[in-house]
């Protein structure tokens, strides 16, 4: 590791300590990676690319020291809950549509059979056909 990399890591760790102590100086004080990056004076992608271990450490400390669930995890849990609800609703809708297809298929079969029987039935001798109207 070069000196710049080590200095960046030291800044991130100091920022972690300030955020967890509730003494933010450069950020809004929220317990997020964005606030940590702002507090440390580094780009947030540095935490996602070069210092992933520090990001993980930060979230573990948030969980352990504050007994809070990190914001990103809360958002993910909310998203998972919404998606499960959507999947459940879609499964119910699919089942309803399958039942409707079955009913329509049966109705179609009955109508086709009725038409076939009507075509096969002999014409009655006592029924007169319609006469064309005089024009």
In a domain, 103, yes or no: yes
Which has the closest alpha carbon to 7: 33, 34, 35, 46? 46
DSSP assignment of 67-110 equals: ----HHHHHHHHHHHHHHHHHHHHHHHHHHHHHHHHHHHHHHHH
Six-digit token pair at 61?
Answer: 């400390």
**62 and 77 share one domain:** no
125: its two tokens: 């001798």
Tell whether 129 is covered by a domain. no
Per-residue confidence (pLDDT) for residue 129, from 0 to 100: 62
Which pLDDT value is given to residue 68?
77
- Predicted structure pTM score: 0.54
Is residue 106 located within the same domain as residue 63?
no
Identify the domain containing residue 84 by its residue range. Answer: 71-119
Give the integer Cα–Cα distance in Å for 125 and 131. Answer: 16
**Same domain (yes/no): 22, 51:** yes
What does the pLDDT profile of the chain (135 residues) look like in tens digits?
688 888 899 999 999 999 999 898 988 988 889 999 999 999 989 888 999 999 999 988 988 888 777 777 888 899 999 999 999 999 999 999 999 999 999 999 999 988 888 777 766 666 666 677 776
Distance in Å from the first CA to the final CA of the chain: 104
**95 and 54, same structural domain?**
no
**Residues 42, 99 within the same domain:** no
Instruction: Give the pLDDT score at 11.
Output: 92
Same domain? For 37 and 85 the reply is no
The predicted pLDDT at position 53 comes to 94
pLDDT at 63: 85
């Amino acid at each position: 590791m070069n000196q710049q990399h080590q200095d960046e890591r030291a800044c991130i760790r100091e920022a972690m300590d300030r955020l967890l102590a509730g003494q933010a100086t450069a950020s809004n004080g929220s317990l997020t990676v964005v606030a940590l990056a702002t507090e440390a004076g580094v780009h947030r992608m540095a935490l996602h690319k070069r210092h992933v271990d520090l990001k993980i450490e930060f979230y573990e400390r948030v969980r352990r020291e504050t007994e809070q669930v990190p914001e990103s995890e809360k958002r993910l849990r909310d998203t998972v809950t919404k998606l499960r609800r959507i999947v459940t609703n879609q499964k119910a809708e699919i089942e309803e549509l399958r039942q409707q297809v079955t009913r329509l298929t049966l109705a179609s079969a009955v109508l086709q059979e009725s038409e076939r029987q009507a075509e096969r039935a002999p014409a009655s001798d006592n029924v007169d056909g319609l006469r064309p109207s005089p024009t």
